[in-house]
Amino acid sequence: MKLFLDTASVPDIRTMWETGILDGVTTNPTLVAKEGRKFEEVLREVCALGVPSVSAEVVGTTTEAMLVEGRHLRQIHPSIYVKVPMTAAGLKATKVLASEGTRVNMTLVFSANQALLAAKVGAAYVSPFIGRLDDNGQDGMELIEDIVEIYQNYEYPTEVLVASVRHPVHVLQAAKIGADIATMPFAVMDKLVHHPLTDLGLAQFLKDWEKVPKG
């Protein structure tokens, strides 16, 4: 499974990139606004690190506006995936962008039928927001199971990108279901690395090593 960071923080992306576990980055207008930096500057820096998949979202709401933005974003770097919202205008824009060879990440997906439509118009990724569903009293992981099953039934090549991940159990569940990608905040990815027994075990090994005669 591919692991993506859901952030526009270049220092955080660099830190994870250096560990070798990072496969990509997703951003959204909220995450970009948090950084207080120019969007394209951030995108160029992340792509320059070598991150192979960097999702950048359009903010236009008409098909025409999405096409203009999407075409602009994709030429910034070959690693850019254009993020388009799941609306009727977004479906139309995705169909055109995909036919031009742009890889589209259809975002703000909350139902299996929406995911089916994203696959039909040729999206490269579909992003179901599971944490936001959980927040609303619906089991987000059931949606992932449904989408994975539907895509397998029809052999759609669209990859399932589990978004709005809140904790490591979401990552574990997504991996067990067979989702292609999970995108998560830095804090969640960092938690995947750690286990208290690893820390305790290492401390004990180092302590015992001091008793070994040297030289």
Binding site for ligand E4P (CB under 6 A): 6, 26, 28, 107, 127, 129, 131-132, 163-164, 183
- Structure tokens given for 193: 């690395």
| C-alpha–C-alpha distance, residues 83 and 80, integer Å | 9
Q: How far is the CB of 59 from ligand E4P (least distance, A)?
A: 13
Q: How far is the CB of 71 from ligand E4P (least distance, A)?
A: 21
Quick one: 54 or 93, whose CB is closer to ligand E4P?
54
In the block, residue with structure tokens 């359009």:
58
Q: How far is the CB of 135 from ligand E4P (least distance, A)?
A: 8
Catalytic residue among 2, 34, 83, 120: 83
Q: How far is the CB of 105 from ligand E4P (least distance, A)?
A: 7
Quick one: 90 or 214, whose CB is closer to ligand E4P?
90
Quick one: 9 or 107, whose CB is closer to ligand E4P?
107
Q: How far is the CB of 185 from ligand E4P (least distance, A)?
A: 7
What is the SS3 string spanning the chain?
CEEEEECCCHHHHHHHHHHCCCCEEECCHHHHHHHCCCHHHHHHHHHHHCCCCEEEECCCCCHHHHHHHHHHHHCCCCCEEEEEECCHHHHHHHHHHHHCCCCEEEEEECCHHHHHHHHHCCCCEEEEEHHHHHHCCCCHHHHHHHHHHHHHHHCCCCEEEEECCCCHHHHHHHHHHCCCEEEECHHHHHHHHCCHHHHHHHHHHHHHHCCCCCC
Quick one: 132 or 167, whose CB is closer to ligand E4P?
132
| C-alpha–C-alpha distance, residues 182 and 161, integer Å | 5
Quick one: 53 or 183, whose CB is closer to ligand E4P?
183
Active-site residue flag, 83: yes
- Structure tokens given for 22: 């990072």
Enzyme catalytic residues:
83
